[in-house]
Structure 1
Amino acid sequence: MAKVDHKVVLIVIDGWGIPSETSPPKGDAIAAADTPVMDEFAKEGSKTAQGYTELEASSLAVGLPEGLMGNSEVGHLNIGAGRVVWQDSVRIGQTIKKGELKKVPNVEKCFQRAIDGNGRLHFLGLVSDGGVHSHIDHLVALLKVAKAMKVPKIFIHFFGDGRDTDPKSAAGYLQDLLDRTKELGVGELATIVGRYYIMDRDKRWDRVEIGMKGVVLGEGEDSTDPVATIKERYEKGENDEFLKPIIVGGEERRIQNGDTLFFFNYRSDRVREITQLLGDYDRSPKSDFPYPKDIEITTMTQYKPDYKFPIAFPPQHMGNVLAEWLGKKGVKQCHVAETEKYAHVTFFFNGGIEKQFEGEEREMIPSPKVATYDLDPPMSAQKVADKLSERISDKKFEFLMNNFAPPDMVGHTGVYEAAIKGVTATDAAIGTVYETCKKEGYILFVTADHGNAEEMLNEEGKPKTSHTTNKVPLVMANAPEGWSLKNQDGVLGDVAPTILAAMGLDQPEEMGGTSLLIKKRKASTLNPEAKE
């Protein structure tokens, strides 16, 4: 076994939040359940826990947009990564907010290439505030940078939304964009085309060709008043998603030889095909198309790992997540969950990659085969606890972790009484693991990925099935006497650094989280050779 100061077990409860002042007064399935183990952990002066604190598990604290509730994938990603894992949209938004977009290397290089070349820069992307694939504010911010850099000619190719927004909202977004370009004094509208034709992802190349013919060849309906043209299309039964190309400004505003292109969608799946063709990655689906020569494409994010386009916001480096770092240190580890949450303790906990690290073993317990989990609220929590306890008792692993699913999966059904049963079963399962940790000499950490079961009813008293923005607990039990946890400003990304500190292992540079562990004890207690 690897040399660690202490062996550790981590329990991640799915959907176990702490009610806030704004939580509805009724519908807390956790408070209503029989939870003696977690209740004792949370008590001041607890007889079983040496540390108890609350962690932020939503919004910017876990890399999500402000005010957005956490989820299981993001929660496990942050816990396992030991850092805030920023969503692309948030990274871009925060960069803009700080006024640093002009400092992004591949934004500057792209615009400079246009200036040094033929002076022509094209922006292409979905124009709305739907926030799923792109955001109109990002386009406006890019226009401001291009203006500051004095790019001579700037053209905008407007992809209509209508799926993540109202189906007939493009006229409003276009008017907003035209008002902003007028105010800025830069940016000329070139093309309008619905996402159906330019943002396909199902290899329907004929659709993409219709979009390309618009932006490159100018094939479509010529218009000098595009807002009015869109409204006329509405009258004919066409909506934003299905807008056939509307051409503004004629040949001058088409993509021509030597031009520079910037695709500003941040979600990748629906701009892979158009960039594959225009960027000459693989033109075989439409090899006869008269593509412009010597164009350069820059993309907002990575659209595909094997595309070689410059990227403004490359993927966040997820090196040395907890599981990888422990593997490098020779620490043997085991991850356990039932089927419903198996991906969360493997793929997501390991940094969003399907990789089993050195010394890592996995155990999957089948979830009950029922239509909905209110029909079997305990799910397989006890079986997971029993398997985890068995693996702890093997004395083979220095680190083990698991997920307990019922508070979240039963919480999603909206059936309050069932959620109470699921929470009760989860607490009993935690008790099983705690007793094994005591017997085998493991420190136990218990946290959750996000809230859910603590708010089963909304303000109107109707069933609530969604996650919450509430904080979650972080418990440390069976730790050396005198140890405790800092009780302020903690986030899920602090869990892994705290575990490493408890094990006496150094924290890798990539982990931006902070250890919440406070070690105050006499050198003679427990392990006199342990690092302070």
Structure 2
Amino acid sequence: MMIKSFLKLFLNQNPKKKQEHNPLLLLSVSSKPFKHRDIRDLSKVFFSSFSFLFSFETNHLAKMVQVENKAVLIVIDGWGVPGENSPKDGDAITNAETPVMDAFANNADGYTKLEASSLAVGLPEGLMGNSEVGHLNIGAGRVVWQDVVRIDQTIKKGELNKNEIVTKAFQAAKDGNGRLHLCGLISDGGVHAKQDHLYALLKVAKELEIPHVYIHFFADGRDTDPKSGAGYMEALLEKIKEIGIGEVATVVGRYYAMDRDKRWDRIEVGLNGLCIGDGEESSDPVKTIKERYEKGENDEFLKPIIVGGKEARIQDNDQVFFFNYRSDRVREITQLLGDVDRSPKPDFAYPKNITLTTMTQYKLDYPFSIAFKPQHMGNVLAETLGAQGINQVHVAETEKYAHVTFFFNGGVEKVFPLEVRDESQDLVPSNKSVATYDKAPEMSAAGVAKQTSKRISEGKFEFVMNNFAPPDMVGHTGVYEAAVIGVATTDKAIGEIYETCKKEGYVLFITSDHGNAEEMKFADGKPKTSHTTNKVPFIMANAPQGWSLKQTDEGVLGDVAPTILEVMGLKQPEEMTGTSLLVKSKGTKRTHDETK
């Protein structure tokens, strides 16, 4: 009976295999005695069958891992710990009714603080965190270095000339027609590109002695002062003189070169400048930019200024390097120029046989060489749980659903093994009836709490995580009173989940991706709508008695996943370089009075 069941199982595992060539099928259905030559086949059959059975049992057992503790993770968006300089009358968290989170904060064993900004999450020094970066770090269990920091560090070490893609593109220009074009946003705004990166590229071009280097200056005025472009141009001209290579070819506002809303007519204006030379000719770009200011034209909206004449246009067989590191606003122009899809502007006179290289990956299906390829983060928390046989589910409202899926899973559109992703249940609709969330500051926190509690109570998932959006989304409106309501609503929702965790025997973890609602005002009383660089809480509740979180000034968001894995009794993968903050002492009894 066992053999027949096994044969049936084996055959079902191989539905595409031709059955007439399957010796197991012959074994199961034949009533004729075996001939001598069948013995050899039969031995192969049993050897293969034993190997398959062993493999099947091993894989099957791998899905039956028992966890020491089941876990729930709540990521509150925009819930920071106020700093010494945070205006007290703008602290929507401290001033809101938050009995649940207050009780957690008073339980020293289960409460600590984490860095959620700057280098601690892979961002440049002093830069505030954001939702995407926060969820990446939390889910990855390590510091996820952002592209800009990787580039900065490479330049700081003097190793940009060792980047194979950069040197290959530059050498191709030298060995070809001697022409290299450097295109990108030039400012110190730091959102899409950095002028220092251009300067470093010019130094590499100088080392390689490229004959002609043309710079196409995309003016900012959105992440910088609207009339700061003339100053950035002056700085660039000084650097060109200092390094001894390069010439300005084109000046154009980002409105025309960096559209992302499929306004293809805008991109065509930019390309007319870069490729055709359609624009105002100038031998003094600083003077011309200032004249445009006087006419009411700011950096973002500068129409093409042609500085280098016809010779400096992007021409047939040229090498073109785009140095923006943020991808979204250079996808359209590279799509057209790089011949990915020219259907939006099929009649434009594109230069032929040009080669594009980009600083980072602009889009997955773009064929261009990439100087700084995406980091492939193996074994993020969701992947690690799936590999160890752990069932999981992630819940959020519409505004933050991408953060608990795409970003939490390492920035990939992937559902890992044993991860349930049912958008009909776990994607809770955000309120679409209001233009801004100060009009409905509760958002969908109650719905998220209800669905999270439902998933916990089902008993199917060893790991459940969710996101609460109000402190961040309402915080961005700058309406302090509304943020207070959003914070209080979130606290109540957390309390509901905590009660479910106690009932169902889950350890509850709570953290935040970055600060926001704790600083709703500047020192002068004006509304503040941006994120902060403050630390965020990290809480463990309903844990075995005697367990606590390490009190440290060095904790970061990347330490959350390792802590969860240790509490669950699961192995931390090598790729996960964060540190568990769990401190164990004897005792396994759960405590249920953290909020009493």
Aligned pair 1:21/2:76, yes or no?
no
Q: Quote the residue 1:351 is aligned against.
A: 410
Q: Quote the residue 1:173 is aligned against.
A: 232
Is the Cα contact below 8 Å between 1:115 and 1:151 reproduced in 2?
A: yes
Aligned pair 1:429/2:493, yes or no?
yes
Distance 1:491 1:208, change over 3 A: same
Is the Cα contact below 8 Å between 1:55 and 1:473 reproduced in 2?
A: yes
Letter aligned with residue 91 of structure 1: R
Moved more, 416-425 or 398-407: 416-425
Secondary structure at 1:12's aligned position in 2? Answer: strand
Moved more, 314-323 or 375-384: 375-384
Measure, in 1, the Cα distance between the counterparts of 2:266 and 2:482.
48
Distance 1:227 1:13, change over 3 A: closer
Identity fraction in percent = 73
Measure, in 2, the Cα distance between the counterparts of 1:398 and 1:76.
20
Q: Quote the residue 2:558 is aligned against.
A: 493
Secondary structure at 2:71's aligned position in 1? Answer: strand
Q: Quote the residue 2:24 is aligned against.
A: none
Letter aligned with residue 297 of structure 1: L
Measure, in 2, the Cα distance between the counterparts of 1:405 and 1:285.
37
Counterparts of residues 71-86 of structure 1 (less than 5 Å): 71-86=130-145
Is the Cα contact below 8 Å between 1:50 and 1:477 reproduced in 2?
A: no
Letter aligned with residue 266 of structure 1: Y
Secondary structure at 1:31's aligned position in 2? Answer: coil
Moved more, 121-130 or 412-421: 412-421
Shift of 1:508: 3.2
Measure, in 1, the Cα distance between the counterparts of 2:350 and 2:578.
47
Distance 1:417 1:250, change over 3 A: closer
Q: Quote the residue 2:32 is aligned against.
A: none
Measure, in 1, the Cα distance between the counterparts of 2:536 and 2:213.
48
Measure, in 2, the Cα distance between the counterparts of 1:213 and 1:462.
43
Measure, in 2, the Cα distance between the counterparts of 1:221 and 1:431.
63
Letter aligned with residue 97 of structure 1: K
Aligned pair 1:395/2:454, yes or no?
no
TM-score by length of 2: 0.78
Moved more, 216-225 or 3-12: 216-225
Counterparts of residues 199-278 of structure 1 (less than 5 Å): 199-201=258-260, 208-235=267-294, 238-278=297-337
Q: Quote the residue 2:18 is aligned against.
A: none
Distance 1:312 1:423, change over 3 A: same
Is the Cα contact below 8 Å between 1:50 and 1:479 reproduced in 2?
A: no
Aligned pair 1:121/2:180, yes or no?
yes
Unaligned runs of 5+ in 1: 528-532
Distance 1:320 1:228, change over 3 A: same
Out of 357, 368, 373, which is 1:309 matched to? 368
Counterparts of residues 70-469 of structure 1 (less than 5 Å): 70-201=129-260, 208-235=267-294, 238-284=297-343, 291-361=350-420, 362=422, 363-367=426-430, 371=434, 373=437, 377-469=441-533
Secondary structure at 1:186's aligned position in 2? Answer: coil
Larger Rg: 2
Q: Quote the residue 2:16 is aligned against.
A: none
Shift of 1:413: 4.7
Measure, in 1, the Cα distance between the counterparts of 2:326 and 2:385.
32
Aligned pair 1:477/2:541, yes or no?
yes
Measure, in 1, the Cα distance between the counterparts of 2:487 and 2:280.
60
Shift of 1:177: 0.8
Q: Quote the residue 1:518 is aligned against.
A: 583
Distance 1:40 1:109, change over 3 A: same
Q: Quote the residue 1:530 is aligned against.
A: none
Letter aligned with residue 205 of structure 2: A
Shift of 1:58: 1.9
Moved more, 242-251 or 104-113: 242-251
Letter aligned with residue 436 of structure 1: T
Measure, in 2, the Cα distance between the counterparts of 1:452 and 1:61.
17
Letter aligned with residue 75 of structure 2: V
Query: For the aligned residues, what is the CA RMSD?
Result: 3.1
Measure, in 2, the Cα distance between the counterparts of 1:89 and 1:238.
30
Distance 1:124 1:514, change over 3 A: same
Comparing both structures, which one devotes a greater share of its residues to helix?
A: 2
TM-score by length of 1: 0.86
Q: Quote the residue 2:60 is aligned against.
A: none
Shift of 1:332: 0.9
Letter aligned with residue 404 of structure 1: F
Shift of 1:182: 0.6
Shift of 1:439: 3.0
Measure, in 2, the Cα distance between the counterparts of 1:327 and 1:365.
24
Letter aligned with residue 356 of structure 1: V
Secondary structure at 1:476's aligned position in 2? Answer: strand
Letter aligned with residue 138 of structure 2: I
Measure, in 1, the Cα distance between the counterparts of 2:525 and 2:332.
47
Out of 57, 65, 69, which is 1:6 matched to? 69
Aligned pair 1:39/2:98, yes or no?
no
Moved more, 365-374 or 427-436: 365-374
Letter aligned with residue 408 of structure 1: D
Greater RCO, 1 or 2 (C-alpha within 8 Å, sep 6+): 1
Distance 1:39 1:254, change over 3 A: closer
Measure, in 1, the Cα distance between the counterparts of 2:376 and 2:103.
39
Measure, in 1, the Cα distance between the counterparts of 2:527 and 2:255.
36
Measure, in 2, the Cα distance between the counterparts of 1:249 and 1:380.
55
Q: Quote the residue 2:572 is aligned against.
A: 507
Secondary structure at 2:94's aligned position in 1? Answer: helix
Is the Cα contact below 8 Å between 1:2 and 1:398 reproduced in 2?
A: no
Distance 1:256 1:32, change over 3 A: closer
Measure, in 2, the Cα distance between the counterparts of 1:313 and 1:170.
27
Query: What CA deviation, in whole Å up to 9, does each residue of 1:403-459 have, x standing for no partner?
Result: 233433444455545544443443343333333323322221111222233334432
Moved more, 221-230 or 49-58: 221-230
Secondary structure at 1:335's aligned position in 2? Answer: strand
Letter aligned with residue 516 of structure 1: L
Shift of 1:257: 4.1
Distance 1:502 1:258, change over 3 A: same
Is the Cα contact below 8 Å between 1:126 and 1:161 reproduced in 2?
A: yes
Measure, in 1, the Cα distance between the counterparts of 2:182 and 2:200.
12
Measure, in 1, the Cα distance between the counterparts of 2:223 and 2:474.
28
Unaligned runs of 5+ in 2: 1-63, 591-596
Distance 1:306 1:366, change over 3 A: closer
Moved more, 487-496 or 405-414: 405-414
Moved more, 252-261 or 183-192: 252-261
